């Protein structure tokens, strides 16, 4: 597919003089983060020319992206609304000793809807089926030899391997199915941890899209990234059978291995990989440390970029780096909790730690998922009878020691 429009007008440089670029902003990779940047930019800056280049023949891959309503602000929700496949007013969690309904809204966005929203936005030019070979601060070279130039280049090509993060993993295989009879579920169950435990901490996640259509995701918090897709799919089938859900038709299957950050070196992370363009999404280390989810961070970054008045690579690179570093520094407590969960907890203790977490006040849980916990929340999380022996927990306090120890054991390979 060729570029449908390209900018013909010369662009005035901040320092004076004119130069020609194909676009004001060029987004490399049309995944979650760059798509949201494009949508927010087109809304905030009419007249800005925006190009997007994607290797695949569709935008956004094959995903269901979920988030809590409290993860993003109401303005962002307005932007995402047309892309939401479903919205639920509440959600449920199930542990052996705790069943709880949280009145926190939950939302699911799909790749199909993201694709349609971007493709029908007249302000965004999309080039599909075009692999990018080289990225610079002034444009890209495509694998087929074409070159596209821009004043501002943002690399959102997803997660890349890194040596600078010590990771655990959230892994899953999800089956979206049409059932013969109604499943009877009225709300998402974001963790059903009453299931048999394997490979770390296991739970099943279900999203009821219609009375007979449901996503069943067999999910693990594991030490390693290996994913046995057939085994997890068979466990999702077994979960359906246990609930007497007879599958009439398979709609879609998705799988993921998401990074859970135990420790890391943010300077090292940013020093790795191509340096010339600005970055977005997983590539900018913008994901929730404890879930690996990146939608709320993608929204926040897009809002920051859209609020900028200066669209050149250097300015946006500075903005993203500063934001990524700030998020990293503010989230050290999450990494500490992750070390408790992945390094200090043994056997079934991971499930116990999470069961205890879910008994905490709902506003705290909401702030936790939004990545915005307060000092009081931290105290509240650590208060009371500890779910792990204190001496064992203390051994994993130091992030730098944990990074050194863990990177020897687990080479940090991050997946999107
Ligand atoms: C199955 C699955 C489900 C997930 N569910 C959730 C969820 O519910 N909620 C949540 O918040 N997070 C979720 N995540 C985690 C995270 O939000 C996603 O991985 C998210 O898509 C990451 O966004 P991104 O923009 O950084 O990268 P991506 O969305 O992966 O986008 C990168 C894009 O760049 C393209 N690309 C790569 N290389 C090139 C190249 N050389 N040339 C051109 N294009 C290129 C890719 O094709 C892709 O489209 C999920 C992840 C997976 C895998």
Q: Residue 58: give the domain boundaries.
A: 11-162+265-329
pLDDT tens digits, residue range 248-257?
999 999 999 9
In a domain, 387, yes or no: no
What is the model's pLDDT at position 389? 65
Which percentage of the chain shows pLDDT scores above 90? 82
Please report which residue ranges of 252-339 form alpha helices under DSSP H: 266-271, 295-306, 313-330, 332-339
What is the model's pLDDT at position 12? 42
Ligand 1 in contact with 235 (CB < 6 A)? Answer: no
Going by alpha carbons, the residue nearest to atom 12 of ligand 1 is: 293
pLDDT tens digits, residue range 357-370?
999 999 999 999 99
List CB contacts of 85: < 8 A, sequence separation 6 or more: 64, 108, 109, 110, 113, 209
Q: What's the average model confidence in pLDDT over 51-74?
A: 96
| Total domains, the chain | 1
pLDDT tens digits, residue range 123-173?
999 999 999 999 999 999 999 999 999 999 999 999 999 999 999 999 999
DSSP string, 157-219: ------SSEEEEEEEEEEEEEEESS-----S-EEEETTSPP-SSEEEEEEEESSSSEEEEEEE
State the distance from the centre of ligand 1 to the C-alpha of 396, rounded, in angstroms.
Answer: 31
Instruction: Select from 159, 258, 287 the residue to mutate for testing ligand 1; criterion: most ligand atoms less than 8 Å from CB.
Output: 258
In a domain, 366, yes or no: no
Sort residue 81 into left (φ over 0), alpha (ψ -120 to 50) or beta.
Answer: alpha
State the distance from the centre of ligand 1 to the C-alpha of 279, rounded, in angstroms.
Answer: 13
State the distance from the centre of ligand 1 to the C-alpha of 31, rounded, in angstroms.
Answer: 5
Q: How far is CA 68 from the centre of its chain?
A: 13
Going by alpha carbons, the residue nearest to atom 41 of ligand 1 is: 132
Ligand 1 in contact with 200 (CB < 6 A)? Answer: no
Q: Which of 172, 226, 166 lies closest to 202, judged by CA?
A: 172
Q: DSSP class of residue 61? A: -
CATH number at residue 313: 3.50.50.60
In a domain, 225, yes or no: no
Instruction: Select from 40, 51, 54, 63 the residue to mutate for testing ligand 1; criterion: most ligand atoms less than 8 Å from CB.
Output: 63
In a domain, 56, yes or no: yes
In a domain, 318, yes or no: yes
Gap between the Cα atoms of 25 and 169, Å rounded: 34
State the distance from the centre of ligand 1 to the C-alpha of 211, rounded, in angstroms.
Answer: 29
Q: Which of 123, 141, 121 lies closest to 131, judged by CA?
A: 141
Going by alpha carbons, the residue nearest to atom 52 of ligand 1 is: 256
Going by alpha carbons, the residue nearest to atom 31 of ligand 1 is: 31
In a domain, 363, yes or no: no
């Amino acid at each position: 597919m060729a570029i449908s429009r390209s900018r013909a007008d010369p662009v005035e440089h901040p320092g004076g003089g004119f130069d020609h670029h194909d676009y004001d902003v060029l987004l490399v990779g049309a995944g979650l983060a760059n798509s949201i940047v494009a949508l927010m930019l087109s809304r905030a800056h009419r007249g800005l020319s925006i190009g997007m280049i994607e290797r695949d023949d569709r935008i956004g891959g094959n995903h269901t992206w979920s988030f809590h309503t409290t993860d993003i602000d109401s303005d962002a929700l307005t932007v995402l609304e047309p892309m939401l496949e479903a919205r639920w007013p509440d959600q449920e969690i199930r542990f052996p000793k705790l069943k709880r309904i949280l009145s926190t809204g939950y939302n699911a966005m799909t790749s199909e809807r993201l694709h349609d929203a971007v493709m029908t936005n007249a302000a965004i030019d999309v080039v599909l089926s075009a692999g990018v070979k080289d990225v610079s601060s002034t444009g890209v070279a495509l694998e087929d030899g074409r070159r596209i130039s821009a004043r501002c280049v943002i690399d959102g090509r997803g997660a890349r391997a890194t040596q600078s993060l010590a990771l655990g993993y959230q892994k899953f295989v999800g089956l979206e199915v049409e059932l013969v009879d109604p499943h009877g579920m009225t709300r998402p169950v974001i963790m059903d941890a009453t299931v048999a435990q394997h490979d770390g901490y296991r739970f099943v996640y279900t999203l009821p899209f219609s009375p007979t259509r449901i996503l069943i995701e067999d999910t693990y918090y594991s030490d390693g990234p290996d994913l046995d897709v057939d085994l997890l799919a068979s466990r999702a089938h077994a979960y359906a059978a246990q609930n007497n859900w007879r599958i009439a038709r398979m709609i879609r299957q998705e799988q993921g291995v998401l990074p859970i950050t135990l420790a890391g070196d943010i300077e090292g992370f940013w020093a790795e990989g191509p340096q010339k363009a600005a970055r977005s999404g997983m590539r900018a280390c913008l994901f929730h440390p404890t879930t690996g989810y990146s939608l709320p961070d993608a929204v926040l970054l897009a809002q920051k970029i859209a609020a900028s008045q200066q669209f050149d690579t250097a300015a946006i690179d500075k903005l993203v780096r500063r934001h990524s570093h700030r998020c990293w520094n503010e989230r050290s407590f999450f990494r500490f909790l992750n070390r408790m969960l992945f390094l200090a907890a043994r056997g079934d203790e991971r499930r116990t730690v999470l069961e205890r977490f879910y008994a905490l006040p709902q506003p705290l849980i909401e702030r936790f998922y939004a990545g915005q916990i307060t000092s009081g929340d931290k105290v509240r999380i650590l208060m009371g009878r500890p779910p792990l022996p204190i001496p064992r927990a203390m051994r994993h306090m130091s992030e730098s020691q944990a990074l050194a120890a863990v990177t020897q054991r687990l080479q940090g390979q991050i997946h999107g």
